[in-house]
Amino acid sequence: MKYLVLTSFIAVVGLVLVLSGASSNSDFFARDFSVLLYGTGLLILGMATLIVYQVVQLRRRIRSGMFGAKLTVRLLLVFGGMALVPGTVVYVVSVQFMARSIESWFDVRVDRALQSGLNLGQTALDNLQHDVSGIAGSMAQRLAEEPAARQAGELNVLRELYGIQQAAIFSERGSLLSFSGGDGTTSLPQPPDSRILAKVRQQHVYSHIDSGPQGMMIRVVVPVNVLSLTETLRVLQLVQPVPARLAADAEAVRSAYQDYQGLSLSRVGLKRLYGMTLTLTTLLTLLTTVVVAFLVSEQISAPLRALVRGTRAVAQGDFRQMHAVSSRDELGMLTQSFNRMIRQLADARNVAEERRTQLEKSHTYLETVLASLTSGVITFDEQMRVRGVNPAAEHMLGVAPESLTGLLLLQWSHVAPGLADLANLVRERFHEPADGEWQRQVELEIAGVRHTLLVRGTRLPRGMDSGFVLVLDDITGLLRAQRDAAWGEVARRLAHEIKNPLTPIQLSAERLEHKLGERLSPADADTLHRATRTIVNQVSAMKDMVNAFAEYARTPRAEMQTVNLNSLVREVMELYGHEPTIHLLLTEDLPMVSGDPRLLRQVIHNLLQNAQDALSDHPAPRIDVATHVDGTMVELTVRDNGSGLSAQVRDRLFEPYATTKAKGTGLGLAIVKKIVEEHHGSILLDNVEEGGVVARVRLNRAQQWQEQEQRVM
């Protein structure tokens, strides 16, 4: 800002000197008047902008409450009043004196006389031009009555009759047809241009005064309208010189008037130039006043402002604002006392900071432990309001992060309606009079999937931070693994204990029928035959069930290799022939997957069999088999348009012997799930809004499987 003000001050002084020299040098003034005018205007605009900028900055300081701003305003008003009042008086008097002095240099009567003479000359020329136009109209009317062959002679007669110097007849295209000139004129006339001809063809009269080497000439062009339809329009052009005396007087008056106007313009320019010079000087005075006010206030308020900044910094916890003592007066003593106070506060703050750091470390360690736990942890205060929730608990309950923090147990249903039963259970158990721990197994449906949670609660010791702690463990996978292990053991026992006696039972029944069938009466033989068939059929059914359980128990380990899933689906479809109910929607350029082709064929076949069984009574069955890429996985979907799954079946869908069929063991989906898990994939069955069930099998890409194997190794 200081450099900008100094530069502006030097520029103003230089421009004032240039303007002073220009006012006494007429040649310089006439040549560079516009440059001086524009330069002066730009400098005035710059000075005004600088003053406005200073005022705006001062206003911002006042609004922000900056210390010293009001002092600057007071100094500005004092200095401004001292400079503005006398400066305004001098400015007004100078402007009035300058305007009257310059106006006295010019006589208004001369201006009026020159204007009257110019008007008189113009009127005389207009009358002469009007007379020539009337003669042209009369001659055109006379020529229109004469045949074309006699128009040349008639033109010469009429020219001499009216005393016209030159007369010529042109065609409507501008070609010269006849010419007559007086005073020995032999040069051919200049034909009218296309613009004049177009105007004449529209029956208009063209009249103009031209200036040339021969003086001022009146030129009139009129149409000659013929009566015959076989002849074209002709154009009559008259050229008549303006009397030399009249032309000289008109030119003299016009030249004198232009010179006087130039002087008048110089008069206006001088008035503007002097006015801008006075304005610039006044603005320079105001700017100097503003700058001095700012500088003086800055020198006075700088030490006080430093103390204010230090006070605010201490209030915000910053104790590093030490200020140097630059004087030995009262302000210096105040600064020294302030520095001593800051040092004492800094020492006290350091002690408190060390204690707070230790507390934060303990708190951070506890939060890290809670965030790393796989068990969910929720803490409550005495009013059963949630104080903290770790990420594992938020994931188990299916709520957004920090959505439960600060809520009462009774308000959990507002965040997730499915948590109402859990909230009631926790509230009842915590309000029991007996202290100590408690635990309960609870089932929750989160995102459409039922989970089993082991809920444990305990009361914190009574005191300042008393309250309750709730620990959640998702045991859904553990229970599922226990059920799978139990079903595997059942399958092995069935295969070992039941399958061996079935064959002797079947053979014994058939042997009894063979031995006793011929010895019995026909009625008894028929009864024996039906009983034997029943035994054989039931034994066969039990064998099938035992074989299915045995297959479930001994699912072989997958031998992983690169597999084209689309080709595998087409191979399985060959077993179904051209089944019209099955539609393939396979994605082209599908990435290769890692899997065992034999086991994956069994997965596809079982899913198709389940879909066909679900559509056995459907009037318009349809099965869609599709493949597509889903992020980093490849997905196979089998969708039918059946009646869908009930809520009871969905919870036990992948358990052995869980089926809605009248016949069957219910082991198909259980085997499919084991095969998919063996491939480190996932399977999900869900109802479709339009009706039916969709099975989604997600498998790893070949490259992704190899990367997982390498990480394991």
For residue 701, the 8-state DSSP code is B
Same domain? For 130 and 86 the reply is no
Count Cβ atoms below 10 Å from residue 92 Cβ, excluding itself: 11
Element (H, E) at 278: helix 244-315
- The candidate with the shortest Cα–Cα distance to 158, out of 176, 145, 171, 170, is 145
> Are residues 385 and 412 in contact, defined by beta-carbon separation less than 8 angstroms?
no
Question: How buried is 530 (Cβ within 10 angstroms: 0-12 exposed, 13-18 middle, 19+ buried)?
Answer: exposed
Q: Clarify whether residues 629 and 694 are in a common domain.
A: yes
The string of pLDDT tens digits covering residues 46-100 is 767 777 777 788 788 888 877 777 777 777 788 777 777 777 887 788 777 776 6
Has residue 360 been placed in a domain? no
Q: What angle do CA 141, 147, 152 make, to 5 degrees?
A: 80
pLDDT at 565: 92
Same domain assignment for residues 627 and 528: no
Tens-place pLDDT, residues 556-571 = 577 889 999 999 999 8
CA distance 367 to 388: 10
Within-domain flag for 421: yes
Is 33 inside any structural domain? yes
pLDDT band at 1 (very low <50, low <70, confident <90, very high): low
Per-residue confidence at 712, pLDDT binned at 50, 70, 90? very low
206 and 288 in a single domain? The answer is: no
String of DSSP letters for 189-219:
PPPP-HHHHHHHHTT--EEEEEEETTEEEEE
pLDDT at residue 680 tops 60: yes
Measured between alpha carbons, how far is 27 from 524 in angstroms, rounded to an integer? Answer: 152
Give the CATH number, domain containing residue 201.
Answer: 3.30.450.20
Least confident window among 213-227, 385-399, 604-618: 213-227
Q: Residue 627's pLDDT band (boundaries 50, 70, 90)?
A: very high
Contact 475, 454 (CB under 8 A): yes
In sequence order, the 6+-apart residues with CB closer than 8 A to the CB of 296 are 75
Residues 47/287, Cβ–Cβ less than 8 Å: yes
The amino acid at 304: L
CATH number of the domain encompassing residue 605: 3.30.565.10
CA angle 223, 229, 235 (to 5 degrees): 15
DSSP 31: H
Please tell me whether residues 429 and 294 are part of one structural domain. no
Query: Looking at the structure, do residues 291 and 419 belong to the same domain, yes or no?
Result: no
Q: Are 653 and 645 in contact (CB under 8 A)?
A: yes
Q: Is residue 325 part of a domain?
A: no
The label of the residue with tokens 């249903």 reads: 413
218 domain residue, yes or no: yes
If asked whether residues 161 and 224 sit together in one domain, one would say yes
Alpha carbon distance 244, 4 (integer Å) = 65
Neighbouring C-beta atoms of residue 406, cutoff 10 Å = 10
pTM over 0.95: no
pLDDT score recorded for residue 30: 52
Q: Which residue has the higher pLDDT, 182 or 156?
A: 156
What mean pLDDT do residues 143-156 have? Answer: 77
Q: Does the structure show a pLDDT above 60 at 110? A: no
Structural domain includes residue 517: yes
Which residues span the domain enclosing 410? 373-468
Quickly tell me which residue has 């599922």 as its tokens: 480
